[in-house]
């Protein structure tokens, strides 16, 4: 298990697509930036086979300051959920790492 | 809230980077494909500011066939977790959608 960075992936893609590294870098960065911008607008991003990014909203609520017992406004919070797409799911199930303790299905 | 597809994002990126649509398409597809391949190898992908993709493993276990009571092997299952990066988190908290019911923090 290794950690792959954006830089390593850009090198891979430049090799695979025979495009200049500088062009690949610009496009990959623009792609990642665009996703952030779209999620910021509450938009959902659907990449067939890959997966879906969508914003989940936690509603604002009123909590209590435990010392003063005064009501405190907790602002709404947004986070991103990623849902695994079909091809990714299939790749993950096909390439199960070898497990010595694993037994064949019965 | 709209759903943005890969095609729409590719058009945006082609405009923003002044690259040919066909080149952008090839690079974006290669990027998404590479992520799937790396996750298939159980690698973790870290894109600064954007977020982290990593594989979560559910261990194999032995269950029971409820009819025959025979033990049944349940194979290990892998799924992908996406952890939101710094810039994405910040963008989501900066651009809170207007909420009529929202009150100012106290």
Instruction: Measure the CA–CA gap between B6 and B28, rounded to whole angstroms.
Output: 9
Q: Where are the domains of chain A?
A: 6-88
Segment B60-74 mean pLDDT: 91
- For residues B13, B14, B17, B19, the Cα torsion angle rounded to the nearest 10 degrees is 150
Measured in whole angstroms, the distance separating CA A90 from the mean position of its chain's CA atoms is 17
Predicted interface score ipTM higher than 0.85: no
CATH superfamily of A6-88: IHF-like DNA-binding proteins (4.10.520.10)
**pLDDT tens, position by position, B19-47:** 999 999 999 999 999 999 999 999 999 99
Q: Do B60 and A103 touch (CB under 8 A)?
A: yes
Segment B87-95 mean pLDDT: 86
pLDDT band for position B97 (50/70/90)? Answer: low
Strand, helix or coil at B79? strand
Q: Residue B48: its pLDDT value, please?
A: 92
**pLDDT tens, position by position, A64-81:** 999 999 999 988 888 999
Topology classification of domain B7-86: HU Protein; Chain A (4.10.520)
- Residue B26: which residues within 8 A CB-CB, separation 6 or more? A17, A19
Q: List the single residue in B with minimal CA-CA distance to A58.
A: B96
All residues of chain A having their beta carbon less than 8 Å from the beta carbon of residue B3 are 43-46
Q: Is A11 on the interface with B (CB under 8 A)?
A: no
């Amino acid at each position: 298990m290794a950690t792959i960075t954006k830089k390593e992936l850009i090198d891979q893609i430049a090799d695979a697509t025979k495009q200049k590294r500088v062009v690949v870098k610009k496009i990959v960065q623009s792609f990642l930036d665009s996703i952030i911008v779209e999620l910021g607008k509450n938009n959902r991003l659907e990449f067939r086979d890959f997966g879906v990014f969508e914003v989940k909203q936690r509603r604002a609520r009123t909590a209590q300051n435990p010392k003063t017992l005064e009501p405190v406004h907790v602002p709404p919070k947004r986070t991103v959920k990623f849902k695994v797409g079909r091809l990714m799911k299939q790749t993950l199930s096909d390439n199960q790492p070898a497990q010595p303790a694993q037994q064949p299905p019965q």
